[in-house]
Amino acid sequence: MKTSDDIVLRVQSRLTDRDWTLLCWLFDHGVLTTPQVTTALFPSPRTAQQRLLELMNMKVIDRFRPHRPDGGTYPWSYVLAHPGAVLAASSYGLKPPRPAETAARRHRLATSRNHAHTAGVNGFFTDLAGHARRNPPARLLRWDPEPGQSARVYLQPDGYAEWSEQDTFVALLFEYDTGTEQLSVLTGKIERYQEAITYSEAPPWPLLFRLHSARREAALHERIGDLHTPVPVATIAADRLNPAETPADRIWSIPGERGLHRLIDLRRLYEHAVATWQYAPAVLERRKRR
């Protein structure tokens, strides 16, 4: 029987740059659905499905179809098979996982009760990747499951990304809200992010919330107004979005401001926050102690 190492050596020369991107995303983010892979990387569903089947035949990816709690099933969801996990880990210069570790992760993803949340988070970023693919020179420069150490300790967001259009760059932290948590949980995340920026020198990049509804979005804006925080925040509400719109489009609402804004325009929130924190008492005191 061929070992996984034999498979790795046999298939690595057959992988395209797009295949490597997919394998690394699955290594970082766990699971992606057929529509997400298609949107982010392929010109058509047929092309995507054909290549995904080829990658399955190479035994670098596997798939499952989870059931929805309210009935029916989600789309096919793809995860790394063990040779794919070895390839992705090796490309990062990491120690390859053991077969049992890959199997345990695959089973954990397949049986997770948080599938809807995971799919929602990953869908946000694959929609960004798809927009970039169709609209160069826009680029999704980076998509990580979490930000740098200083912000992670305080915040633990659902994702971190770096986005550019023309000569403008913005990084962002993303929170996907399903409407099940109290608003105080969301405002608590804003307050912890403020601590990270003030005391641990985390860059004040915009913190983005995808809210369950416009009503919940309005309530969060009201709470943010009561906080009087300099943390840069922007929001979208699921029930006011056009299906044709992407996160890069003019869909972002800023608490205390009228109108909607494009993702790249949120760079000004970062610039304003930098200027605000430069003279914050806690920051000035920390500089004196150096």
From CA 243, how far away is CA 185, in angstroms rounded?
28
Residues 91 and 232 occupy one common structural domain = no
Residue numbers of the domain that contains 17: 4-113
Q: Which residue, 85, 113, 141, sits at the end of a domain?
A: 113
Same domain for 101 and 167, yes or no, is no
282 and 243 assigned to the same domain: yes
Average pLDDT on 119-141 reads 97
- Whose structure tokens read 């005391």? 199
Mean pLDDT of all residues in 145-166: 81
Residue 177 and residue 100 share a domain: no
**Does 236 lie in the same domain as 156?**
yes
Of the two residues 156 and 56, the one the predictor is more confident about is 56
On whether both 91 and 146 belong to a single domain, the answer is: no
C-alpha dihedral sign at 240, 245, 247, 249 = negative
Residues 240-273: tens digit of each pLDDT: 999 999 999 999 999 999 999 999 999 999 999 9
Distance CA 249, CA 8 (A): 40
- Residue pair 91/24 in contact (Cβ under 8 Å)? The answer is yes
Residues 30 and 144 in one domain: no
pLDDT above 50 for 287: no
Cα separation values, 100 from 25, 79, 97, Å: 20, 15, 8
pLDDT in tens, 86-129: 999 999 999 999 999 999 999 999 999 999 999 999 999 999 99
Nearest to 191 by CA among 148, 144, 143, 226: 226
In the chain, how many domains are there?
2
Confidence of residue 169 (pLDDT cuts 50, 70, 90): very high
Rounded to an integer, the average pLDDT of 57-64 is: 97
127 and 236 housed in the same domain: yes
Using CA atoms, how far apart are residues 174 and 104, in angstroms rounded to an integer?
27
35 and 105 part of one domain: yes
The answer to which of 60-64, 142-146, 185-189, 249-253 has the lowest mean pLDDT is 142-146
State how far the alpha carbon of 219 is from the alpha carbons of 60, 133, 185, in Å: 45, 35, 13
- pTM of the complete model: 0.92
Q: Is the pLDDT of residue 284 over 50?
A: no
129 and 9 within one domain = no
pLDDT band at 153 (very low <50, low <70, confident <90, very high): low
What CATH number is given to the structural domain containing 47? 1.10.10.10
- 106, 138: one domain: no
97 and 131 in one domain?
no
